Amino acid sequence: MDKTSPLYQHVVVVGGGAGGLELATRLARKYRRKGLKVTLVDREPTHIWKPLLHEVATGSLDAGIDELSYSAQARSAGFTFQVGQMESIDRDQRCIYLAAVKGQDGRTLLPVRSLYYDYLVMAVGSVTNDFGVDGVAQHCTFLDSRHQAEQFRRTLLESCLKTSNSKDQRLRIAIVGAGATGVELSAELFNTARELAAYGISRLDRNRLEVVLIEAGPRILPALPDRISLAARQELEKLGVQVRQDTRIVSVDAAGLNTDTGEVIEADLKVWAAGIRAPEFVTRLDGLETNRLNQLVVRPDLSTTLDERIFALGDCAACARTDGEGNVPPRAQAAHQMASFLCKHFGRIIKGDSLPAYEYKDYGSLVSLSRFSTVGSLMGNLTSGSMMIEGRMARLVYVSLYRLHQLAIYGYTKTCLIALVDRINKVIRPRLKLH
């Protein structure tokens, strides 16, 4: 029997984010009847789409309803799920090692384990980059995981209650980093304040809620066209957000954020969303080449430069664009495209055939300013220019991006049912998670 048949292959995908989960699901559905074994590894038991974490952090999205169980998805799609944190790799033995899983009491639930692979796909995403700024880790909140988002939501609710009890007190929130996460979070905070007031939980108005959005560069949303950046800033300032551009933070303490000019920006809550890097453990993977952001350097076909049986996709991959415009940006659409690329060409990978170069397609970018507005551009590099959209149409397209992710993992029927349930929940459930 042909030893290159999927019957003899084991693919291990590490990381259950947008790209990793989609790849494991699609490979299993396409090749499981041919005997291919697919294993997905993630340190969490559930998945939530990372671009939605700012909504979890403000309570406008209930993660308990929207999350996906990896075990349930594995049963439905036909792959195997292993919970655990990848620790190391032995490339000669084609084996990865997972750290022990401990319970709430510190006792070991699962021991250290090993997984042998024929092909390994690293899709571990990214974490917030604090750039070594003093005090950030101690005094700022990151939004890299559901746990961090939920912790911020609870702190935000408590802070709103405390502030509303005093007529003279204000709640000051500073967000460092004016990329998509920072911009969207700043708008969501005003929506949260308004909804809390409607439910009688807090009496904060825009005069008592101070949100400062801080960007070291000359404009917010630096990865997007100037006109989108300007439109977003105008909308934020209408809401009451204080937009601080050309402001570099050099240290953070309990009182606030200290700038390079000596100014202190006082804040009760501090969120750091200024940049990304791959997790630190990626730099210790048996000599695989990484860059200064800890990303795995990959060839045009997404295989790592030192091992053709190991691939990387999404935020943890440093992949040069075919148009020469630097590396592929760390966006959800890039992770989705990379997963589709590997799934499409997996048959050629098994046969040892050469692959074409992955070509990033920019379909545009959209930024949601909560219920107030949505701005962005469509087409990207598919045309000679891009089409700027905003308002209701932009919001519709923004929501459709999440539906495309759901289609990739659930299929059409289940995604339609989920969309229907979401509409029902908007009628029967509070607009915010209030507890």
Q: How many CB atoms lie within 10 A of CB 355?
A: 17
Residues 8 and 321: beta-carbon distance below 8 Å = no
Domain spanning 130-274, CATH class: alpha beta
Buried b or exposed e, range 251-281, using 16+ CB within 10 angstroms: ebeeebbbbeeeeebebbbbbbbbbbbbbee
Residues 280 and 130: beta-carbon distance below 8 Å = no
Residue positions counted in the chain: 435
Residues 313 and 23: beta-carbon distance below 8 Å = yes
Predicted pLDDT at 431? 77
Domains 6-126+278-351 and 130-274 agree in fold: yes
Predicted pLDDT at 99? 96
CA distance 311 to 303: 4
Q: Chain centroid to CA 238: how far?
A: 27
Residues 186 and 284: beta-carbon distance below 8 Å = no
Q: Which CATH architecture has domain 6-126+278-351?
A: 3-Layer(bba) Sandwich (3.50)
387 HSE (CA, 13 A, CB side): 9
Q: Report which DSSP code applies to 419.
A: H
CA distance 251 to 175: 14
Element (H, E) at 157: helix 146-164
Amino acid at 163: T
Angle, helix 18-31 to helix 392-410, in steps of 10 degrees: 40
CA distance 266 to 169: 13
Rounded to the nearest 5°, which phi and psi values hold at 297?
-80, 125
Residue whose entry in the numeric block shows the structure tokens 């809390």:
196
Spans of all domains in the chain = 6-126+278-351, 130-274
User: Residue ranges of the alpha helices (H) in 165-240?
Assistant: 180-198, 226-239
Predicted pLDDT at 5? 60
Predicted pLDDT at 394? 55
CA distance 248 to 177: 10
Predicted pLDDT at 224? 78
Give, for all 435 residues of the chain, the pLDDT tens digit. 455 565 679 999 999 999 999 999 999 999 988 889 999 999 999 999 998 899 999 998 888 888 999 999 999 999 999 999 999 999 999 999 999 999 989 899 999 999 999 999 999 999 999 999 999 999 999 999 999 999 999 999 999 988 887 777 899 999 999 998 999 999 999 989 888 888 887 777 777 899 999 999 999 988 777 888 888 899 899 999 999 999 999 999 999 999 999 999 999 999 999 999 999 999 999 999 999 999 999 999 999 999 999 999 999 999 999 988 899 999 888 999 999 999 999 999 999 899 999 999 887 677 777 666 666 555 454 333 455 545 555 556 667 778 888 998 999 999 999 989 988 988 888 877 777
Predicted pLDDT at 6? 59
